[in-house]
């Protein structure tokens, strides 16, 4: 009887070990094969011709504003230089957030548009709830989450 209990215990332990390995592999697969494109929802309705309506001079981002997090209310005036975001002391926006990496993300100007790219952070960078995997254009007023900090571009 004692041998049977020992064998059932071994089989149960082996089953639990395989379930754990399966769960880890499933999680890794989901992370590796996650969608590489970031979808940004349309905020403007298109006209009948399929072209966005223009209302005079287009608005250009002039400020970076922290809307949530420990630095909420912080405003950085944008120039032609990229904005480095992270916990490093030499970052343009130095975060005191445990969920941010030392060099977490970078905002770079390309013409009149600004693009965000993740710099290999642990917890990722998100543009309006979509994970950023490549350089993605940031529309005005769209939230960018870096750890627990949320920033937006403003005119």
Please tell me the pTM assigned to this model.
0.61
Output the six-digit token pair for 141. 């007023």
Residues with Cβ within 8 Å of 90's Cβ and at least 6 positions away in sequence, in order, are 84
Q: How far apart are CA 31 and CA 46, in angstroms?
A: 35
Options 2.60.200.20, 2.60.40.10, 3.40.50.300, 2.60.40.1180; CATH for 63-154 is 2.60.200.20
DSSP-derived pairing of the beta strands 83-86 and 93-94: parallel
Q: Which of 63, 76, 85, 73 is nearest to 153 (CA)?
A: 63
Confidence of residue 16 (pLDDT cuts 50, 70, 90): very high
Q: Quick one: average pLDDT of 11-38?
A: 79
pLDDT tens-digit profile of 34-83? 544 444 444 544 444 455 555 556 678 889 999 988 888 889 898 889 99
DSSP letter, residue 37: S
Query: Higher model confidence: residue 26 or residue 41?
Result: 26
Residue 154 exposed, middle or buried by CB count within 10 Å (0-12, 13-18, 19+) = middle
Q: Phi/psi of residue 121, each to 5°?
A: -70, 160
pLDDT of residue 9 exceeding 60: yes
Confidence of residue 29 (pLDDT cuts 50, 70, 90): confident
Query: Higher model confidence: residue 30 or residue 86?
Result: 86
- Element (DSSP H or E) covering residue 16: helix 2-32
pLDDT tens-digit profile of 85-138? 999 888 899 988 888 889 999 999 988 889 999 988 888 899 988 889 889 999
């Amino acid at each position: 009887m004692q041998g049977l209990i020992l064998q059932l215990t071994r089989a149960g332990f082996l089953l639990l070990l395989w379930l754990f390995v399966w769960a880890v592999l499933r999680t890794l697969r989901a992370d590796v094969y996650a969608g590489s494109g970031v979808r940004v929802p349309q905020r403007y309705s298109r006209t009948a011709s399929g072209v966005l309506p223009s209302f005079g001079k287009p608005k250009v981002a002039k400020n970076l504003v922290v809307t949530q997090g420990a630095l909420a209310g912080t405003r950085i005036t944008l120039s032609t230089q990229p904005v480095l975001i992270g916990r490093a002391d030499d970052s343009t926006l130095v975060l005191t957030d445990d969920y941010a990496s030392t060099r977490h993300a970078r905002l770079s100007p390309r013409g009149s548009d600004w693009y965000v790219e993740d710099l290999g952070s642990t917890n990722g960078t998100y543009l309006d709830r979509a994970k950023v995997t490549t350089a993605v254009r940031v529309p005005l007023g769209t939230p960018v989450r870096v750890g627990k900090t949320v920033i937006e571009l403003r005119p």
